[in-house]
Amino acid sequence: MADRGADRSLEHSFPATPEELQGSRDCLRENLQAWGEDDRIVQDVVLAVDEACQNVIRHAYAGDPDGRIQLRVERRDGEIEVWLRDWAESSDPRCLERGRDLDDVRPGGLGTHFIRELMDVAEFVEPPDGRGNLLRMLKRT
């Protein structure tokens, strides 16, 4: 999670539980607003990060309340880069490719679709020590 010339950055670490999501959204939202990002950019990044955190909580940690999530956000001219780290079992990187047919109206399965729609890049990369998962997302601003 290298800081490649970021003029602003945020690092936030929190337990991987549903109860922590509101606080993590508030933290991210407040920082993006303080950095002067447009409302639409703030909304898009907050929703995409929230959905990615949900995937970690529900699927990677499978509800294990002892898991942790580490969020790092770096702002550069023209882009916001997000790194989301967990220490769960490795995720199948193909899970980001699976969308669902939106004409099939049914509950569930929308989170990955939101991430792909809202961010310009979403990809799993190799974590520094090979443990867990590291999701990189990029939003061009």
- Position 114 contacts other proteins (CB under 8 A): yes
Count of residues binding other proteins (CB under 8 A)? 26
Asked whether 138 and 89 are in contact (CB, 8 A), the reply is no
Tell me the window of 3-11, 45-53, 119-127, 130-138 that interacts with other proteins (CB under 8 A): 45-53
- Position 47 contacts other proteins (CB under 8 A): yes
Residues 6+ apart with CB under 8 A from 8: 31, 35, 74, 75
For other proteins, give the closer residue by CB, 3 or 97: 97
Restricted to residues 60-99, the positions that interact with other proteins (CB under 8 A) are none
For other proteins, give the closer residue by CB, 51 or 81: 51
For other proteins, give the closer residue by CB, 74 or 91: 91
**Radius of gyration of the CA atoms of the chain, in A:** 14
2 vs 117: CA distance, rounded Å: 25
Give the max Cα distance, the chain: 43
81 vs 10: CA distance, rounded Å: 11
Which has the closest alpha carbon to 113: 72, 60, 54? Answer: 54
Residues contributing to the site for other proteins (CB under 8 A):
18-19, 21-22, 25, 43, 46-47, 50-51, 54, 57-58, 102-103, 105-111, 113-114, 117-118
